[in-house]
Amino acid sequence: MKLFVSALIAACLAAPALAQNVTIRFIANEGVHISDGETGVLIDALTWNSYDGTYALPSDEARAAMINGEAPYDDVVALLFTHIHGDHFDPEGAVAISQNGVTIMGSVQIFDAFIAAGGEEAAITLLEPAEVYCEEDGTDCPTYEDLGNITFFPPGLEFERPFSLGDQQRVLEEQEALAANVDARPIFHRNGVDHWSYRVEIGGVSILHLGDTQPQMADFSVWDDTEFDVILYPYWFAQMPEGVAFLDSRPDARAIAFHIPAAATPQTIRAGLGDREHLFGEGTSVAIATE
């Protein structure tokens, strides 16, 4: 049995004093800015390859604002990448934004490209699958909650299980103070491509970003133990039975499509998605009320 890394980022050591709506601001393709007005996280937000115009890239203005930490991106503490494809990841952009204290998170492939582009190891949280085995008879298997063998607080600081009692206490104390909780779990996109999905919790709102998950090949059970308020999914889920089945299995989550081709029109979007909610066009946003 293979279990995987669960990563937590201490994005801000003091939680916001007042509850606010959590906003998901669309940037381009699958790039989003998730924020409660105090703490923000970017996912797949800095990109460089439109694949001959098939997918939108961030505008020059949005790109500069993200890298320079200008409004509305002045609350960003982490930039997460699902995988290495150029419509999801820009190594030079990641290096530039990391120089302003933003933590980068991604796979081994992301890590290698980030370092090759001049990034510092201390600025990136590396996600790697962790091998954990059951007994030969299939018993005594760790639960998913047991698997979190790397917990990150300041960038570059690692704790590996089993924790000492002192470290366990510190983990508990730090987790109580988290303003942004990031949980990363691998899920299939394409052979040879390390691909991670992310659950970001800010302001008590749990948001799943599925990246480029291919539903006909994906093992969705990696998220069986987690509830979501919002699921961000690539548009093709709505066109595949396996994708529709997954979304239908989470009826309490607000499902929002993205990764819509740049040349799409209202007519083609309706033809592909029907009345399903979606994000398309830089600056589009949705607000989720916090409790």
Q: Give residue limits of the domains in the chain.
A: 2-288
pLDDT, average across residues 2-6: 37
Q: Answer yes or no: is pLDDT of 61 > 60.
A: yes
Confidence of residue 225 (pLDDT cuts 50, 70, 90): confident
| Residue 228 to residue 209: CA distance in whole angstroms | 10
Confidence of residue 109 (pLDDT cuts 50, 70, 90): very high
Q: Answer yes or no: is pLDDT of 174 > 60.
A: no
**Structure tokens given for 288:** 């989720």
Please give the helix or strand (H or E) that residue 268 lies within, else none.
helix 266-273
**Are residues 282 and 19 in contact, defined by beta-carbon separation less than 8 angstroms?**
no
**Are residues 211 and 106 in contact, defined by beta-carbon separation less than 8 angstroms?**
no
Measured CA angle at 23 (ends 19, 29), to 5 deg: 160
At residue 20, the pLDDT reads 72
pTM of the complete model: 0.82
Q: Answer yes or no: is pLDDT of 201 > 80.
A: yes
pLDDT, average across residues 228-235: 98
Confidence of residue 130 (pLDDT cuts 50, 70, 90): low
Task: Specify whether domain 2-288 bears CATH 3.40.30.10.
Answer: no
74-100 per-position pLDDT tens digit:
999 999 999 999 999 999 999 999 999
Distances (CA, A) of 153 to 78, 120, 144, 181: 12, 17, 20, 11
Q: Residue 119 phi/psi, 5° resolution? A: -75, 155
| Residue 168 to residue 154: CA distance in whole angstroms | 16
